[in-house]
Amino acid sequence: MSASSVPPADLAVDVVPLGGLGEFGLNMMAVSCGETTILVDAGSMFPEADLPGVDRVVPSCDYLDQRGPVAALFLTHGHEDHIGAVPYVISRVTGPVYGTPFTHAILDNKLDEHGVDLGDRRREVTPGDSVTVGPFRVEFVRVTHSMPDCVALAIHTPQGVLVHTGDFKIDYTPLDGQPTDLGRLAELGAAGVLALFADSTNIDRPGVTGSESDVKDAFDEVFATTAGKLVVASFASSVYRMQLIVDLAAQFDRQVAFVGRGMVENSEIAQRLGYLRIPAGIAVKDSDVGSLPPSDVVCLVTGSQGEPQAALSRIAIDDHRHISLSPDDTVVFSARAIPGNEKAIGRIVNHLARRGVDVVTEAQRHVHVSGHGSAEELKLVLSLVRPRYLVPVHGEYRQLARHARVARDVTGGSKTPTTVILAENGHRIRFDREGGRVVDSVTAGRVLIDGTRSGEVDSEMIRDRRQLAADGLVVPVVVMNRQKGVREGLPEIVARGFVPEAEAGDVLTDGAAFIAGVIDDCPAGERLDEGLLKERIRGEFRRFLKRRTGRRPMVLPVVMEI
């Protein structure tokens, strides 16, 4: 019986997380039923320190290539960890890309950089809308996060409703007046939800996260006590934080400069779509800052994570074209430190301290609030939705496991306790008449992108870069007589980053003699084959260097024929 003739209730639904489980970032999930596959988000992440030369990490699409074309892509919101991989995934998507207006506006800039035009596949939706793709009906439910226009997804399938929260928190007093639609989540729960895929980011934080408006008092104090220039570093996507700073600037008779490419682009998008309201005369260009009294200016800048090329990094070392700091100025880090960025942020703080400015972080004052719900909020959503199954997503494994324990505590005493499926990237979660379970694993992994070039960075290239960083490079240059098949003189050896120059003399001199002996001992046929000769020199010389120095530099022989 073909898939098209199978009664809908007999069609199994497979859910495969391709990123975002056991890690922060790379959020992407494939949902399949019959011949139809849809994607939920396509996020990226920034590389860790052990990936030299890598600018971006995106999920592997091997599984999608095996399944065939993707019928539609659904985006929950516009953060990099949910849309950053779209330019690399979009070639697999033959159907529409659904997202809210702000999500699409941010995505448009990203796709333009890659020369991608969605054309009529670009579909804007608003909370309350629903669309049908094959056997799926996908409903968009409003949630509150740290940026505008975020949605959860209620995916109606032949097996039941799957609710994917996206990133969310429960803010009863959001700055835009659009709280999470708890009523609709409760209606879905009352009607019956098969599985809840829930954000686990802040599950290990007790209580509730709090409202974006909670930081106003702390910023009120900062504005009131700063005699000079005020610089606020935040995520460029934090439009609500932008609005708060703009409102306070108007209250304290300061003008606002948006500094850094991401901050400028996102503020322009937010203004165009009506999510950011700036009174006339408040906004100035960064080039105007130097001509204004410091006490009349507040700068909203990129670089809250210590990124080397961001605006705050250049300001901190006095390398920005238009903005400099003095001891009367204050710099506020209005963002949490993403795990792994602590060193980079500390470096920036040290540079700022050398300039004599006052540095304010979340540790001193309540200048940041998370966009993710804490434990009590996740418990509330779980109680409202009452899913048959819970699949924790978005977090490292310890967060997923903690979420599982909390779910068992919340629902364990009910008549129909929620069953937790603790999945990992690549697990195929199947829902059919037998229930929900992990049935097998598919290929899932990461693709490393070098943004300065056109292709992917493979594992061999990463290994070579790590070796160069650890042990350096040695280049033996050998001159061979093509007619006679013998070497001409001793080889020359060039070394970079290998051992200190004062210690390299004897090693390289002895190494030249060693290579000469290796060449002389080669059979005549091997000496006349450049490829074979290079491999012999590379292998023998690496072993020689290991014995003499204990290091394994990259050896790149050069054979010149005369």
Backbone angles phi, psi at 73, to 5 degrees: -120, 125
Average per-residue pLDDT for the chain: 91
The reported pLDDT for the residue numbered 53 is: 58
The reported pLDDT for the residue numbered 4 is: 45
The reported pLDDT for the residue numbered 471 is: 74
Element (H or E) spanning 370, and its range? none
Contacts of 353 (CB under 8 A, 6+ apart): 359
Q: State the Cα angle at 146 between 372 and 260, rounded to 5°.
A: 130
pLDDT in tens, 452-496: 544 565 555 556 666 666 678 889 899 988 888 888 889 998 888
Q: Which of 19, 26, 49 has its CA nearest to residue 341?
A: 49
**Statement: residue 299 has pLDDT above 50:** yes
The reported pLDDT for the residue numbered 423 is: 97
The reported pLDDT for the residue numbered 56 is: 77
Hunting for tokens 């000769």 — which residue is that?
533
The reported pLDDT for the residue numbered 468 is: 66
Q: Which of 406, 447, 446 has its CA nearest to residue 426?
A: 446
Element (H or E) spanning 150, and its range? strand 150-157
| DSSP-assigned letters across all residues of 276-288 | ----TTTEE-GGG
List of E strands, 22-84: 28-33, 36-40, 56-59, 72-74
The reported pLDDT for the residue numbered 555 is: 87
What are the C-alpha distances in Å from 360 to residues 190, 211, 237, 331?
A: 46, 20, 20, 6
pTM assigned to the model? 0.83
Answer with the residue of higher pLDDT: 366 or 446: 366
Q: Are 408 and 399 in contact (CB under 8 A)?
A: no
**Statement: residue 129 has pLDDT above 50:** yes
Percent with pLDDT over 90 in the chain: 71
The reported pLDDT for the residue numbered 454 is: 47
Structure tokens at 60: 């592997």
**Statement: residue 279 has pLDDT above 60:** yes
The reported pLDDT for the residue numbered 2 is: 41
List of E strands, 394-545: 419-420, 427-432, 435-441, 446-449, 456-457, 473-481, 486-487, 492-496
Q: Are 166 and 257 in contact (CB under 8 A)?
A: no
The reported pLDDT for the residue numbered 452 is: 52
The reported pLDDT for the residue numbered 538 is: 87
Known catalytic membership, residue 82: no
Alpha-carbon dihedral of residues 396, 402, 403, 409, nearest 10 degrees?
170
CA distance 554 to 498: 9
The reported pLDDT for the residue numbered 546 is: 86
CA distance 398 to 370: 19
Bridge partners (DSSP) listed for residue 258? 300
Structural domain boundaries in the chain: 11-207+370-449, 212-360, 470-561
Q: Which amino acid is at 467?
A: Q
Answer with the residue of higher pLDDT: 144 or 57: 144
Which of 104, 372, 394, 403 is catalytic? The answer is 372
The reported pLDDT for the residue numbered 15 is: 98
Known catalytic membership, residue 372: yes
Strands of the sheet containing 358-360, edge to edge, are 283-284, 255-259, 297-301, 230-233, 330-333, 358-360
CA distance 174 to 171: 6
Which of 81, 149, 171, 199 is catalytic? The answer is 199
The reported pLDDT for the residue numbered 498 is: 78
Phi-psi region of 68 (alpha: psi -120 to 50; beta: other; left: phi over 0): left
Q: State the Cα angle at 248 between 272 and 321, rounded to 5°.
A: 70
**Statement: residue 339 has pLDDT above 80:** no
CA distance 521 to 100: 71
The reported pLDDT for the residue numbered 238 is: 94
Q: Are 169 and 145 in contact (CB under 8 A)?
A: yes
Structure tokens at 41: 């988000």
Which of 290-294, 348-352, 548-552 shows the lowest per-residue confidence on average (mean pLDDT)? Answer: 548-552
Mean pLDDT value of segment 138-150: 97
The reported pLDDT for the residue numbered 6 is: 57
The reported pLDDT for the residue numbered 463 is: 63
Mean pLDDT value of segment 394-423: 93
Mean pLDDT value of segment 217-236: 97
The reported pLDDT for the residue numbered 464 is: 62
Hunting for tokens 């705050």 — which residue is that?
312
Structure tokens at 224: 């009131």
The reported pLDDT for the residue numbered 547 is: 87
Domain 470-561 has CATH 3.10.20.580: yes
Mean pLDDT value of segment 518-539: 86
Which band of pLDDT confidence, cut at 50, 70 and 90, is reported for residue 52?
Answer: low
Structure tokens at 423: 């999945």
Which of 259-263, 275-279, 307-311, 366-370 shows the lowest per-residue confidence on average (mean pLDDT)? Answer: 307-311
Contacts of 59 (CB under 8 A, 6+ apart): 18, 19, 26, 28, 42, 43, 85, 89, 444, 445, 446, 447
What kind of architecture, by CATH, is found in domain 212-360?
3-Layer(aba) Sandwich (3.40)
What are the C-alpha distances in Å from 383 to residues 280, 379, 409, 417?
A: 46, 6, 11, 11
Contacts of 509 (CB under 8 A, 6+ apart): none
What are the C-alpha distances in Å from 72 to residues 43, 108, 161, 221?
A: 15, 17, 18, 48
Q: Are 456 and 449 in contact (CB under 8 A)?
A: yes
CA distance 125 to 131: 9
Hunting for tokens 């059979």 — which residue is that?
523
CATH number of 11-207+370-449: 3.60.15.10
Element (H or E) spanning 67, and its range? helix 62-67
Q: Which of 142, 90, 151 has its CA nearest to residue 119?
A: 90
**Statement: residue 41 has pLDDT above 50:** yes
Mean pLDDT value of segment 153-157: 98
**Statement: residue 427 has pLDDT above 90:** yes
